[in-house]
Each structure stands twice: as structure tokens, then as C-alpha cells.
Amino acid sequence: MNNLLQGKNIVVMGVANHRSIAWGIAQSLHHAGANLIFTYQGDRLRENVAELAAKLGGESLLVNCDVTKDEDVEAAFGVIKEKVGVIHGLAHCIAFAKTEELEGEFVNTSRDGYALAQDISAFSLVAVARAARPLMTEGGSIVTMTYLGGERVVQNYNVMGVAKAALDASVRYLANDLGKENIRVNAISAGPIRTLAAKGIRNFNAVLKEIEEKAPLRRTIDQSEVGDTALFLMSHLSRGITGEILHVDAGYSIIGG
């Protein structure tokens, strides 16, 4: 696996800290020889990303990108084009919903909260795919992160579950649009992991406990397992796969109620 992605330029979006799924993905891609480009939002996160990128050795390109602004997305990929030219992959690990929307009843979701979750968690994939497309002149792979809450009701996931459902549908439509250019688009549906984002979900520990009891593998998963799946999806080994959602959740998604 050490040279599966040798010479490939891959953009990783969404690293927040060492617990981030995006960081697990970055490590797997790095070990396979990829040249990584990291995006971050604002100076506050830049320091974290720079510190982590330094651990990989070498010089990783860091680019500011606020996915809620079209001009920011265009500018970010303009910088990437100028610095590296061609990209071969993109890992989209970006999602957000207001904490208050992740509790109580979904029926009480605010209009603003709904729009914000959709914008950052689902539309951002469309925006970055559009910006990345002209740079993927040799084909490539786009991978995003989804969750079981987009397929069925998960307590307290609420508006984020609806955003993930939109993300899942976006994966299929983007796969159809970009396939003719040999650009594949897939999603990884990861089981719950203790990340910064997970802290916003009420009773998260109870969710982990249920998975340990019910999942076929009788355990939860970690970042490295998601990272290695992303590596597979970025590599030529998955060249016949597009528009798919791969569950990396110790098998929990196959279990009935």
C-alpha cells in the first residue's frame, strides 16, 4: 500500500484536530504516497491544521476555504491550480448544524438551522466538486463523509440526518455528471467516532454502547478504518465504483431495530 497513490495530489477538507475523521483519512493517504493539500476555515483552525500537517513531514500546501462563500471556494481552488496544477482526489469531510437543532423533535427545526445544515453539509460538496472539476484533468476520485442518520431515523440527529440524505443524493447526481470525465464520486458512511462534531450529539455515549452490543463485529470503529477505506476509494483499486455509499460501521447498518 506504500505507493498506491504515489505522485497523486489530493485535497483534504475538514481537518479540525487529531480526532477528526479527515485526519485519519489524511494519514492513510500520506502513507500511500499522496501529496496532500489541506483546506481550513479561518486563522483559528489554520494553526491546528499546520501543526498536524507538519507531523507528516515535507511541505503540505495549506489553503483557506470558507465553503459557505462561492468566491472563497473559487479562490481556494485557484490557489491550488496555481501551486500544484492537477489534482487527482478530494476528501470532503465537512458538516455542521447548530447544537440546538440536534435535540428534541425534528419538527421544531428552525428555517435558518435547516438552511445552514444543508448549505454546509450538503451543498458544499456540489460547490467544491464544481471547483475541483477543471483541475481533475486526469480523472480522479471525490469522497465525502455521510452517516446512517441520512438513511433512517437516529435519535437526536434530526436536521443533520436530512442534510446527509441530501448529501447521499448529491453523490449519485454528481457521479452521473462527472463520470464521463473519469471522475468518481462516492461516500463513506462511518460509524460513530469520538470527534469534535460528535460532542454536539446528545447521549452520544449511549449510541456507542448500543453499537458495541449490537454491531456484528461487537465494537465501534476508529479513524484509521475510515482512512483506509478512503485510500481504497482514491486508488485505482476502486476504479469501477462510483455513486456508492460504503458503510464502515462494524456492520451496524445491517441490523434491524
Q: pLDDT at position 196, please?
A: 57
C-alpha grid cell, residue 123? 451543498
pLDDT at 257: 67
**Of 231, 117, 99, 217, whose CA–CA distance to 164 is shortest?**
117
Q: Is 147 a catalytic residue?
A: yes
Q: What integer pLDDT is reported at residue 199 of this predicted model?
A: 58
Residue 168 labelled as part of a binding site:
no
Q: Could you say which residues of the chain have pLDDT below 50?
A: none
Residue 254 in marked binding region: no
What is the CB neighbour count within 10 angstroms for residue 166? 18
Burial 9-38 (b: 16+ CB within 10 A, else e): bbbbbbbbeeebbbbbbbbbbbbbebbbbb
User: Of 40, 114, 147, 252, which residue is the catalytic one?
Assistant: 147
Q: Find the catalytic residue in 40, 157, 173, 252.
A: 157
Q: Is 233 annotated as a binding residue?
A: no
**Which residues, other chains included, contact 163 with Cβ-Cβ below 8 Å and sequence gap of 6+?**
95, 97, 117, 118, 121, 122, 150
- CA dist 87 and 110 (Å) reads 38
Specify the pLDDT at position 54. Answer: 94
Terminal Cα-to-Cα distance of the chain (whole angstroms): 38
Q: Half-sphere exposure of residue 94, counting CA atoms within 13 Å on the CB side?
A: 28
- Domain covering 9-247 assigned CATH 3.40.50.720 in the classification: yes
Are 68 and 42 within 8 A, CB to CB?
no
pTM for the whole structure = 0.95
Looking at residue 112, what is its pLDDT?
Answer: 98
157 is a catalytic site residue: yes
* Residue 211 annotated as lining a ligand binding site: no
Q: DSSP assignment, residue 18?
A: T
Annotated binding residue 41:
yes
pLDDT at position 216: 96
- Is residue 197 annotated as involved in ligand binding? yes
Q: What is the DSSP letter of 207?
A: H
Q: Which three cell numbers stand for residue 251?
A: 456492520
Q: Residue 176's pLDDT is what?
A: 98
Instruction: Report whether 61 contacts 84 (CB < 8 A).
Output: yes
189 is in an annotated binding site: no
Residue 194 marked in a binding site: yes
